[in-house]
Amino acid sequence: MAKKKVEKAVDGAAKATKKQGKEVDPVRVFAERVRDHKELDTRWAVLQEARVEYFRGKDFIALLRAHPELIKPLGIEAAIADVDLDVGNILIRRRLIVRCDRVSKTPRPGKTKLSKWPARIEIYPEQMFSEKDSFYAWAFERRRPLWQTVLSFFVPVVTLACCLFPIFPHWCKLGVLYFFLAFLTLIFGVLTLRALIFAIFWLALGKRMWFLPNILAEEATMSELFQFMPDSKDDEPSPKWSTRIAFGAVAGLIIWLVLVHGPNEAARARYQKKASNIIDDILTWKPKALSAFTEYPFRTSNLSLGLNLSECFGLEPYG
């Protein structure tokens, strides 16, 4: 009975939009709002050799129960029993989502539990929405936001600017050089600091604590990318003392070898001079330098051509 009420409400909302002269699918609008909602946790996985974005059924149900206003475009009353499951089934029938299952049904070697977010998924035979241990992949293309359009315009501009870097003014070259040196120093400094903090926590307490856990994630959003603390606790058992001592000894040995057998001050000065010379050549290069390389080969080629002709015809070289 509840299922029929939901379907009638959706059909009524679609007819109302058509009467107003708007060709808008309320189900598609609802799906886009849910997909763009910040509280819906999603991940990326491989489905039939294609990367797709997917979510868990329980997260979808929790989102609709926490935000019943999301169902308003469908014209459905949130008080209807099992309305969340019915809405999920409507999305499946409209082919906006596809129910999937994990490919690997056993834990990875060294793990005791299955991964909460599998990296590879496959289509589930029974396409019915369920809240229990189910995954659903979005089956429609997300609308491109404005910032992506602007970025696609600036990519060729930046590429062209990189190609024209040798003919930039000297002050502009210095600005670009110092900016990227500072940027690379910041990146490697943050990565080194988080690795040191992880090593200290792991060796001393046996805890796996990664600060900025999503800094290297490919599918993370901007808010998730700069998340400072990890959002989940480490459920894996702590390593043994013997393992931590062994890794600490190996790390200490590597550091000692680097300090003892590393280059001395004279060698470092030579390397620094070579690097500075290369940078100076790049900064001081001008288009006029091409004339010195084009004139000399032209003259030598003419001279060699004259010598070859004189040898062929038995003539003495001119001059």
Q: pLDDT, tens digit, for every residue of 115-133? A: 889 989 999 999 999 877 7
Q: Beta-carbon neighbour count of residue 32 at 10 Å?
A: 17
CA angle, 225 then 227 then 229, to 5°: 140
Q: Reply yes or no on whether the pLDDT at 281 is more than 50.
A: yes
Cα 305 to Cα 319: distance, rounded to the nearest angstrom: 14
Q: Reply yes or no on whether the pLDDT at 294 is more than 70.
A: no
Q: Beta-carbon neighbour count of residue 257 at 10 Å?
A: 10
Q: pLDDT, tens digit, for every residue of 200-229? A: 888 888 887 788 777 777 666 666 677 777
Q: How far is CA 200 from CA 41, 195, 205, 209, 226, in A?
A: 31, 9, 8, 9, 22
Q: What single-letter amino acid sits at 85?
A: L
Q: pLDDT, tens digit, for every residue of 131-190? A: 777 899 999 988 777 877 888 888 899 899 888 888 888 888 888 888 988 999 999 999
Indicate whether this model's pTM tops 0.85: no
Q: What share of the chain is helix, strand, coil (3-state, %, to 5)?
A: 60, 10, 35
